[in-house]
Amino acid sequence: MARLFGTDGVRGLANAELTPELALRLASAAAVVFAESSATESHRRPRAVVGRDPRASGEMLEAAVCAGLAATGVDAVCVGTVPTPAVAFLTADYHADFGVMISASHNPMPDNGIKFFSAGGHKLDDDVEDRIEAAMDDDIIRPIGAAVGRIVAAPDAGDRYRHHLAQAIDTRLDGLTVVVDCAHGAASELAPQAYADAGATVIAIHAEPDGLNINADCGSTHMDKLQAAVLEHGADLGLAHDGDADRCLAVDSTGQIVDGDAIMAVLATSLKDQGKLREDVLVATVMSNLGLHIAMLEAGITVHTTGVGDRYVLEELRRGGYSIGGEQSGHIVVPGSGTTGDGILTGLMLMARMASTSARLADLAGIVTVLPQELINVRVADKHAVSQSQAVREAVAAAEAELGETGRVLLRPSGTEQLVRVMVEAATADQALSVAGRLADVVQGAGA
């Protein structure tokens, strides 16, 4: 039987794979596991923070999750529609025993997901997820009477999170004009407010969620409209979030995309200049472009490389006590200001660097010379068959021999979909496209 938890919680097609019955059982099992592992104060029931993004199925799943928590004797503190990093922060700020976020992040509207945070707002280790999954098969003792959990609203949640964001930078953003693409997602109100609070002039686009339009041809996975808006308004930059706002990508004043690698380079050098970059280390995944490694070497910064997924970045950050890490996708973690990736925080820090140096984003990001990279998402029937294919292994070996020292190959199955991501970096764009295309054909055949 396949593991229920993927790379970032439990995801699936809402009401088909991720049903309210599953959500209720999952929440109840999590309540049991967290009650066992946390030292809950004796004078109160366990407490969980519950948030969601604005997709329509979130209402249904929120009700199921809260019912599962209350039925297990846990009070559910509902914080409404907020970004994922807000739930992580509020889990700590409300002194909750754990947090639950209902979101499928950048995935299409029909999907949804459930992810958990432990006390303090930290993502879970594999063993805790395994314990939750195992507990779903157990008979759970349900309290009665006054011991049944309560479900309460938290109307001050957004204000608490905005106050937290305001404390993250000490540079005013007055004079900067930013276009922010909110992806019709969880940051549609909070992101424009946070940037305006810091002094920026804000032009918000795709900030009218109706439950059905989240991530629809907008946000961090569809940057063309943001690029056009930056040029139209003559803005200093654009910022793009995904549905739950744990990611941030940027557009400079010329309309060029600034990806997560370049953003990490800008923020890491900023921290280094302030003497705040512990051991002069940046943590990145194997998906980061070789150009980032070269730029950081020239800046006197060491890059520690992890597997793909923010959880592995977080593990390395905690292991070494490092100051910043992230992914090319724009999921960036700054442990001094948050326990998980926070797209709004990233946007604030990026603009603070621009304001403090009076530099254009294009100039700051220009320290990274990106090697041509081609990424092809190959939809397959069985992604696990691809990793076991001799034909795929031989094709990869041939590609690596062709690229030599001037490029690299990475094949990675998606953690949430039946996809295999084929990534190739090469000396030229034509070579990257050619090699990636040939590999994608082999992967398609192996996974059919």
DSSP code per residue over 212-276: S-TTTT-GGG--HHHHHHHHHHT-SEEEE--TTS---EEEETTS-EE-HHHHHHHHHHHHHHTT-
DSSP code per residue over 20-75: HHHHHHHHHHHHHHHHHHS---TTS--EEEEEE-S-THHHHHHHHHHHHHHTTT-E
- Residues 6 or more apart whose Cβ sits within 8 Å of residue 206: 181, 182, 183, 184, 188, 213, 218, 219, 225
- State the Cα–Cα distance between residues 400 and 226, nearest whole angstrom: 36
Closest CA to 283 of 233, 243, 335: 335
Question: What are residue 388's phi and psi, to 5 degrees?
Answer: -100, 5
First CA to last CA distance, the chain: 21
Closest CA to 74 of 104, 103, 44: 44
Q: What is the DSSP letter of 14?
A: B
* Ligand-binding site membership of 253 (annotated): no
Phi-psi region of 380 (alpha: psi -120 to 50; beta: other; left: phi over 0): beta
* Contact in structure between 183 and 205 (CB atoms under 8 Å): no
- State the Cα–Cα distance between residues 327 and 251, nearest whole angstrom: 17
* Contact in structure between 295 and 367 (CB atoms under 8 Å): yes
* Ligand-binding site membership of 244 (annotated): yes
> Which residues are annotated as catalytic?
105
Q: What is the DSSP letter of 279?
A: G
* Contact in structure between 271 and 169 (CB atoms under 8 Å): no
* Ligand-binding site membership of 242 (annotated): yes
* Contact in structure between 77 and 155 (CB atoms under 8 Å): no
* Ligand-binding site membership of 38 (annotated): no
Residue ranges for the binding site for Mg(2+)? 105, 242, 244, 246
Task: Specify binding-site residues.
Answer: 105, 242, 244, 246
